[in-house]
Chain A
Amino acid sequence: EVQLVESGGGSIQPGGSLTLSCVASGFAFDDHAMHWVRQRPGKGLEWVSGITWNSGKVGYGDSVKDRFIVSRENAKNSVYLRLSRLEPADTALYYCARDSEPNYYDSYKLDVWGRGTPVTVSS
């Protein structure tokens, strides 16, 4: 079964840091770019970051640029998102999603999604 499982979310104070993980199974992980998408409570979807199959290129949404870092370990079928200098506005459910293509900038077609991991930023 094709599956993505996120973990690492939790409650954290403003200014803090957190690393989210996403483990993939059921498909050839290194054939696909990966993305992170978040959804603030009661709000819509927001693209956060993308990474190519070989980590050769990464991209970020404007609201997280310079604060978040995406990475992956193909040997572990895993993609990560390091969140730093967190703000209350970063409170959201963070989804990991698979791109149908190896290079995310060719597609942004998100054909498999995890269930998400929640992040709450509050003092």
Chain B
Amino acid sequence: QSVLTQPPSVSGAPGQRVTISCTGGDSNIGLGYDVHWYQQRPGTAPKLLIFGNKNRPSGVPDRFSGSKSGTSASLAITGLRADDEADYYCQSYDILLSGSVFGGGTKVTVL
């Protein structure tokens, strides 16, 4: 059971918009700690996708956006493409665990 809760899967047709939620609590996201998002394509290492809740590293398309409110964060993907099929993980810090925590991951399927 992950400290940060994500839906196991989301799907959408090419060109559509999908969102992935990441629900935490008062010991992590709710305390104001940053949320980062990672994309992991099959058989590859994770890649930083969003940092500091809403910022994109250079090279990440603006189709990907992040937001945070209260004890939750969200990742949105617009203009869904076949190569967006991957697992997506949120990450934050938890003060009770004194360490970083990841969400359980969400598999995005492009129909």
A interface residue numbers (CB < 8 A to B): 35, 37, 44-47, 50, 59-62, 95, 100, 105, 107-111, 113-116
* Known contacts A44-B2, A44-B89, A59-B99: A114-B45 contact under CB 8 Å: yes
B47 touches A44 (CB 8 A): no
Interface contact A45-B57, CB-CB below 8 Å: no
B65 within 8 A of A: no
Q: A108-B93, A109-B52, A110-B38 are in contact. Are A47 and B99 (CB under 8 A)?
A: yes
Closest Cβ of chain A to B53, distance in Å, is 11
Q: Please tell me if the beta carbons of A45 and B52 are within 8 angstroms of each other in the complex.
A: no
Residues of the B chain whose Cβ atoms lie less than 8 Å from the Cβ of A37: 46
- Range class of the B interface residue count: 20 to 34
A114: chain B residues at CB < 8 Å are: 45
- Say whether B102 contacts A47, CB under 8 Å: yes
- Interface SS of B by simple majority: strand
Bound-state Cα–Cα, A37 to B98, Å: 15
Inter-chain contacts of A115 with B (CB < 8 A) = 44-45
Set of chain B residues within 8 Å of A59, measured between Cβ atoms: 98-99
Residue B51 at the chain A interface, CB threshold 8 Å: yes
From residue A89, how far is it (CB to closest CB) to chain B in Å?
Answer: 15
Apart from the given pairs A45-B89, A45-B91, A108-B34, 10 other A-B contacts in the complex at a CB distance below 8 Å: A47-B91, A59-B98, A59-B99, A95-B46, A107-B34, A108-B100, A109-B36, A109-B52, A110-B36, A113-B45
Is B48 engaged at the interface, CB distance under 8 Å to the other chain? yes
Q: Which 5 A-B pairs have the closest CB atoms?
A: A47-B100, A113-B45, A44-B105, A45-B102, A108-B100
**B47-A113 in contact (CB<8A):** yes
Contacts of A108 in B (CB 8 A): 34, 36, 91-93, 100
Q: Are A47 and B51 in contact (CB under 8 A)?
A: no
* Contact present for A113 and B46 (CB under 8 Å): yes
Q: Does B101 contact A (CB under 8 A)?
A: yes
22 A-B residue pairs with CB within 8 Å: A44-B87, A44-B89, A44-B104, A44-B105, A45-B40, A45-B102, A45-B105, A47-B91, A47-B101, A105-B93, A108-B91, A108-B92, A109-B36, A109-B48, A109-B51, A110-B36, A110-B91, A111-B51, A111-B57, A113-B47, A114-B45, A116-B45
